[in-house]
A and B are shown apart, each in its own frame.
Chain A
């Protein structure tokens, strides 16, 4: 992100904060929208939220690191979530997970060198009828075998 982009986004952040000002328990919704805007929770953004919502930085850090859905590091363009819930586990989701790691040369939680994909293992995605399942962005792919992975990744 260059300086100009950052500046633009920080201005959008002002609007997000403004929309939630005075709302009870505003921190979580603000963090969600901030992460959607930046792709992660940059320190500058956290500082601004802290100042404007009057929440200490320590508390924001506490919340941001408690929930696995928030990230303090930039993510790739697409996040691949591999479901590691029970139904997927008993249907060998591990093999699908390993195949993605191998094909993209990325470790769980890591981002590819070209910044295109971030890979995360996730708890149940709620599509147990289609196990094993992965989700890329908001697209769900089910009933997978490791050999399906290359074709799916090509779409992005």
Chain B
């Protein structure tokens, strides 16, 4: 293998790719060649580094210099200074790594310091389109160990001992799932991977598939060996074109190396994997719906039992795990279950990846041991809310989860604690909301989502989500009555108890959790006809301050509804009847004399 003195790692995940990282990579290659360094320096296109907010990101090893927000035209300078003269280009480094006397390595900055990367171990480290790099980082070592040293039951025992729980939402013990499918009679069994990451706000599965696709293929093959299955399916969203492409490349490379297909590693075990594309139905994240979709039907859930472990895909015993769950498997086999259980809380072992989004400085992906507090994630790693705004709530678990207020931020995060708080882990989306977000509006947003995505099979979900949405609509329009809150609570509890699948059963969570922690906001909408955050348009009133208005008349000229009148140099007035609440006047006023509330 050829040795290089410098490795330039360039993120080719979706985030950085959207800000031109491919052009940056090409510029590096061009300038490196121009300086005759092509035998000393190599450019590597990798998966996501996690700190999407600062993309495109380029890391140069061995120094681990962290260049952020790089532009294609910056490349020449980096090559000339850093690679030719050995002087890092300070102005382009991530500001937090630059101190007065030295440059910190990336592992010392707040964003990475508390992280512990297990599922994301290879993301941003290897080139996901090159199987050799995966193998160089212990890739396919776990599979080799399983096929040559362990019996299927021993593999299941290791996963059981690790106490790994499903990372897709409900947190079911993975080893148990595998043992059920292994025990089910029949010699045709299937291994499925749920890569239909539908929770808005979650993108860890995408990053694993884009940054380390072989980790998923290897783990699925191990699962096939453990349960006695020979065929795997990865059900991936069509909205993730880069992930689909890299999975395809990875599958063909694994086949070429004899790591997929007939007689893997010369043993008598055969296993192959096929990619199936989703088509934009959130409900397909539910296991029985996903199975129906692979079978070529509408993705509608069915009652369980029978569970897929006994009767799943094409009526055969099937296991279905989430991408992040699989991403943990190989490391557990390599490092041993004790290593895995040394991290986390009593009932939730290992690490969890969270996707930080919304009103937070460091948006991106972070992986922390279970039991880390929300406060550590949001403030220490995530850098808090931008623009000096006050934190209001953290939303976890997507449309199935809830909103966690400031007062609960010190609770250690694990599956059970989040449920006790009225939310859930879900796939790990974590959206931060600040004082400018209205919690009633957020509940309405989620209900609009679940109502739209309800498959329509069971009445509680089909009709119930619609009724709840109607009530929320009414409240956000200022037409709510106090009884509506009781009605919402009643409906929510009934739907939770009676819906067919997890989508319906958890659809009321956004309402119940916002009612639990932000009831005053509901009451303000209903009783005072006010939206405290200034979001719900129907409840807003724009007013012009007498003190601040200079009578320039710009607002009156800009108003599309001719609702503002007045004379030059006198205070202008907004006719509330005519006002359409577009907010243009407020944006255009040079004296900040217009306020809403």
A interface residues (Cβ-Cβ under 8 A, vs B): 24-29, 31-32, 55, 59, 62-63, 66-70, 81, 84-91, 122-131, 133, 135, 138-142
Which residue of B has the minimal Cβ distance to A81?
Answer: B239
Which residue of B has the minimal Cβ distance to A30?
Answer: B296
List the A side residues contacting B363 at CB < 8 Å: 87, 128-131
List the A side residues contacting B398 at CB < 8 Å: 86
B281 engages A124 (CB within 8 Å): no
Contact with A along B343-364 (1 / 0, CB 8 A): 0000000000001111100011
B17 engages A63 (CB within 8 Å): no
Task: Select one of A29, A67, A124, A139 contacting B198, CB under 8 A.
Answer: A124
Q: How far is the CA of A67 from the CA of B583 in the complex (A)?
A: 36
14 A–B pairs (Cβ distance < 8 Å), ordered by A: A27-B297, A31-B279, A63-B298, A67-B281, A69-B279, A86-B431, A124-B199, A124-B201, A126-B14, A126-B206, A129-B15, A135-B239, A140-B14, A142-B15
Q: A25-B294, A90-B433, A138-B241 are in contact. Are A67 and B201 (CB under 8 A)?
A: no
A27 → chain B, closest Cβ, in Å?
A: 3
B200 engages A123 (CB within 8 Å): yes
Q: How far is the CA of A85 from the CA of B197 in the complex (A)?
A: 12
List the B side residues contacting A87 at CB < 8 Å: 200-201, 357-358, 363, 429, 431
List the B side residues contacting A32 at CB < 8 Å: 238, 277, 279
A25 engages B206 (CB within 8 Å): no
- How many B residues are at the interface, by size bracket? 35 or more
B445 CB–A CB distance under 8 Å? yes
Interface centre among A90, A91, A130, A131 (most CB of B within 10 A): A90
B238 engages A128 (CB within 8 Å): no
Given A32-B238, A66-B455, output 4 extra A-B contacts at Cβ < 8 Å.
Answer: A86-B429, A128-B358, A129-B15, A139-B18
List the A side residues contacting B395 at CB < 8 Å: 86
B67 CB–A CB distance under 8 Å? no
Closest 3 CB pairs of A and B: A129-B52, A85-B200, A87-B357
Query: Among residues 130 to 163 in chain B, which have CB atoms less than 8 Å away from a CB atom of chain A?
Result: none
B297 engages A123 (CB within 8 Å): no
Q: A90-B433, A123-B198 are in contact. Are A28 and B241 (CB under 8 A)?
A: no
Task: Select one of A31, A122, A130, A141 contacting B239, CB under 8 A.
Answer: A122
List the B side residues contacting A81 at CB < 8 Å: 239
B interface residues (Cβ-Cβ under 8 A, vs A): 14-15, 17-19, 52-53, 55, 197-203, 206, 237-241, 276-282, 293-300, 314, 355-359, 363-365, 395, 398, 429, 431, 433, 437, 442, 445-446, 449, 453, 455
Q: How far is the CA of A29 from the CA of B433 in the complex (A)?
A: 39
A123 engages B282 (CB within 8 Å): yes
List the A side residues contacting B293 at CB < 8 Å: 28
List the B side residues contacting A62 at CB < 8 Å: 298
B445 engages A63 (CB within 8 Å): no
A90 engages B437 (CB within 8 Å): yes
Interface centre among B197, B200, B240, B446 (most CB of A within 10 A): B200
Q: A67-B280, A69-B279, A86-B201 are in contact. Are A126 and B240 (CB under 8 A)?
A: yes
List the B side residues contacting A91 at CB < 8 Å: 358-359
A68 engages B276 (CB within 8 Å): no
Interface centre among A28, A85, A128, A129 (most CB of B within 10 A): A129
A69 engages B278 (CB within 8 Å): yes
B449 engages A25 (CB within 8 Å): no
A40 → chain B, closest Cβ, in Å?
A: 13
List the B side residues contacting A69 at CB < 8 Å: 238, 278-281
List the B side residues contacting A125 at CB < 8 Å: 239
Q: How far is the CA of A126 from the CA of B395 in the complex (A)?
A: 16
List the B side residues contacting A31 at CB < 8 Å: 279
Which residue of B has the minimal Cβ distance to A134?
Answer: B18
Which residue of A has the minimal Cβ distance to B395?
Answer: A86
Q: How far is the CA of A87 from the CA of B364 in the complex (A)?
A: 11
A122 → chain B, closest Cβ, in Å?
A: 7
Q: How far is the CA of A24 from the CA of B231 in the complex (A)?
A: 12
Interface centre among A63, A125, A128, A138 (most CB of B within 10 A): A128
List the A side residues contacting B201 at CB < 8 Å: 85-87, 124, 128
Q: A32-B277, A68-B280 are in contact. Are A126 and B239 (CB under 8 A)?
A: yes
B165 → chain A, closest Cβ, in Å?
A: 23
Interface centre among A63, A87, A89, A141 (most CB of B within 10 A): A87
Q: A86-B358, A123-B198 are in contact. Are A67 and B437 (CB under 8 A)?
A: no
List the B side residues contacting A140 at CB < 8 Å: 14-15, 17-18
Q: A24-B295, A32-B238, A90-B433 are in contact. Are A131 and B358 (CB under 8 A)?
A: yes
B181 → chain A, closest Cβ, in Å?
A: 18
B296 engages A25 (CB within 8 Å): yes
A122 engages B277 (CB within 8 Å): no
List the A side residues contacting B279 at CB < 8 Å: 28, 31-32, 67-70
B296 engages A66 (CB within 8 Å): no
Q: How far is the CA of A44 from the CA of B201 in the complex (A)?
A: 39
B359 engages A90 (CB within 8 Å): yes
Which residue of A has the minimal Cβ distance to B238?
Answer: A69
A59 → chain B, closest Cβ, in Å?
A: 8
Q: How far is the CA of A131 from the CA of B355 in the complex (A)?
A: 12
